[in-house]
Structure 1
Amino acid sequence: MRKFRLLSLCLALIMAVGSLAGCASSQSSAPAPSGTSEQKPEAKKETMVFKLANGSAIGDERDQSLQEFARLVDEKSGGTMKVEVFSGGSLGTWRDTIEGLEPGIVQIVCESIGTLEAYSPTASIDAYPYLYRDYDHYKKVMESEIGEQLLATVGQEGGFVIMGPSYRGARVVTSNKKFESADQLKGLKIRAPGIQMYIKTWEYFGASPVPMDPSEIYTGLQQGTVDAQENPVMYNYGSAFYDVCDYLIMTNHVMSTDVFIFNDDYFNGLPEDVQKVFKEAAKEAGNFRTQLVLDKEAATVKLMEEKGMEVIYPDVASFQAKLADFSKEFPNLTELVDKIHAVK
């Protein structure tokens, strides 16, 4: 943490020198040709530079979508806006970077809605187990007024502007202990995000959830600190968990959403044309990511099987049965859960 704080301070100082708003500007002019009268240099438009933090691996599907976002921002702004993508947790953990939005250490973070739980009670809905029947149900909800209101509410509650939702894929388990039903989970040490919804879910399933930063998962599995972890298929492959786990267990217990996150005061202080570029680029990059996951998810399961993992399709009903009274843990979400379940 001390190292990150030092990095944060350095970044803040650099940004303060370059710009008070996290933007850099540059103007240049060519000298007048020899023997001619001096010409007034033509000022170039200001170039705004934005730092985008991403905790997932360089080259994975999220990183690819962020590179596409940066390209779109550059294209749509005519080169006057530049997004620098920092993937692989190079600017700190996801929690550190979200905290870094308000002081301007970073201007954009790409993370799941669920990571905003500490700032917005509604954000927990992103990790609600078996909330969606399948991808078609998920898509209908997220493209409906319910989905739009969800993003707006989380933003308002937490002091953020969030946009560009993208489908992460269903969360599944990679494990070194085989299980085919929830009844076999007793004593399983499973890494879970440090979010109450995930922790409660795995406690209801009968496992022992262990909060752990994503950067520590691989080593935790390798050293036996945890027996298992859960994440979307594409994330699991990009993180090479096939090297340290024997089983890929298709629980499909959560369908979560990534978004682009801005501090609301910062975003609302940007010129309207800049806001428009971000909104358009985020929507297109989000759709790009969603399609990438849909196109490659099934093939990625096969790749993990080829890497030596045994793929297991467990008794999903046994997991759902454990959640009979789960809603009492999050009464503030009951109405929203009922609305989502009612979407046909």
Structure 2
Amino acid sequence: MKKFVSMLSVAVLSASLLCACGGGTESTTTAAPPAGDTTGAAVSQEETGTPATTSAPTDGDVIVMKLANANPAGDIRDQVCRRFADLAAEKTGGKVKIEVYSGGSLGDWRDAVEGLSMGINEIVIEGIATLSAYTDLAYLDGLPYVFRDADHFQKVMLGEMGQEICDQVGEQGGFKLLGPQYRGTKVTTSQKPFSNLEELKGLKIRVPNNQVNIDTWTYLGASPTPLALTETFTALQQHTVEAQENSIIESYGHGFYDVCDYLIYTDHQHSADVFIFDRNYFNDLDPEIQQALTEAANEAAQWRTETVLKEEKEYLTKWEEAGVEIIYPELDGLREAVANLAADKYPMLKDMVDQIQAVQ
């Protein structure tokens, strides 16, 4: 671990000298009011009054934080946000009230991340790879086939090594990352079936505007198209694209079973969502509040990880019940096609990828 931490620090320092491409995960822009709290923790804007600013409040003040979530209200991301809000209120004795804004009502993920430093919102839930615009280290979260399976992901990203990665990404990018949580394995939903590398050649697939996703599908021989998630359903309807990538549960939540006949279990990425704060804002909070938020985030994250692990298989059944054929492709060819991606495009991360893959 000491060796990993040392190499991690060197890589982060090197990455800071490079010009990183814009990162991102999924986003929606559907306008919606702040989500009400089913448990009493996340409350409406009328109830909470003026939102918190980037300066730390004085003792006795109620701290109102806006949490931006790009995914639709009611899906698992929204649920973990509400749980975080509930736990934060409980652990701070009501000193912190978190408003959950789902459905991209505070803008897409880029707007929300940029809004942290301006006090527009205080928290964002997003994938670590979203922060690749601020540090190349965040690309680790988006590289394909770095993790063998969910167990391997948990050993790394939900353990000491993962905490070190989160700390370094935060320090490099000016953020505080709390509560790393498992999003689930990424699959491909498609209008065109494929069961091996050769058959997916030329596939017109929608990807988030994130260079590592674009590179991944280019190496696989597909034709990646960066597109906002809000435009993806229509793009599939109009056959502008033929496929999209996302987790099993989140893909179902977006209704892609209505426009895709196949779910191909490509299992190509295991990634983490985190609760992201502006670093200066978080550090200005009272230490007791910081600790309470950290505990609340970790508990909410554990709930989501356990829920995803339990429900992924159940959601595969839901896909079949919706009339979608599930295909388990030959994965060795896919892995081989992207085997040199880290060394070719992200050489500053190659040693860390090797260390992660060595974890048993």
Q: TM-score, normalised by structure 2?
A: 0.84
Gaps of 5+ in 2: 1-28, 34-45
Letter in structure 2 aligned against 1:255: H
Contact 1:18/1:24, CA 8 A, preserved across alignment = no
Gaps of 5+ in 1: 8-13, 26-43
Rounded to whole Å, the distance in 1 between the matches of 2:282 and 2:61 is 18
- Residue aligned with 1:100, SS: helix
Contact 2:158/2:181, CA 8 A, preserved across alignment = no
Counterpart residue number, 1:156: 171
- With 140-149 and 266-275 compared, the bigger mean Cα shift is at 140-149
- Residue aligned with 2:100, SS: strand
Of 94, 97, 110, 1:95 maps to: 110
- Residue aligned with 1:18, SS: coil
Of 46, 67, 86, 2:82 maps to: 67
Q: Which structure is larger by alpha-carbon Rg, 1 or 2?
A: 1
Counterpart residue number, 1:18: 50
- Residue aligned with 1:110, SS: strand
Contact 2:184/2:308, CA 8 A, preserved across alignment = yes
Rounded to whole Å, the distance in 2 between the matches of 1:334 and 1:18 is 46
Counterpart residue number, 1:266: 281
Rounded to whole Å, the distance in 2 between the matches of 1:287 and 1:110 is 15
May I ask how many residue pairs the two structures share in their alignment? 314
Equivalence map 1:1-344=2 (5 Å): 18=50, 21=53, 45-326=60-341, 327-344=343-360
Q: How far apart are residue 217 of structure 1 and its match?
A: 1.4
Q: How far apart are residue 324 of structure 1 and its match?
A: 3.3
Q: How far apart are residue 145 of structure 1 and its match?
A: 2.5
Q: Report the identity percentage.
A: 47
Letter in structure 2 aligned against 1:199: I
Letter in structure 1 aligned against 2:145: Y
Rounded to whole Å, the distance in 2 between the matches of 1:114 and 1:52 is 18
Q: How far apart are residue 46 of structure 1 and its match?
A: 2.1
- Residue aligned with 2:296, SS: helix
Task: Provide closer, same or farther for how the CA distance between residues 23 and 88 of structure 1 changes in structure 2, counting only shifts above 3 A.
Answer: farther
Q: Provide, for residues 59-114 of structure 1, a one-character-per-residue CA deviation record: whole Å limited to 9, x for no partner.
A: 11111111100100111111121000001111110111001100010000000001
Q: How far apart are residue 304 of structure 1 and its match?
A: 0.7
Q: How far apart are residue 23 of structure 1 and its match?
A: 8.8
Rounded to whole Å, the distance in 1 between the matches of 2:186 and 2:264 is 10
Rounded to whole Å, the distance in 1 between the matches of 2:139 and 2:340 is 17
The CA RMSD measured in Å over matched residues stands at 2.1
Rounded to whole Å, the distance in 2 between the matches of 1:209 and 1:20 is 40
Q: How far apart are residue 56 of structure 1 and its match?
A: 0.8
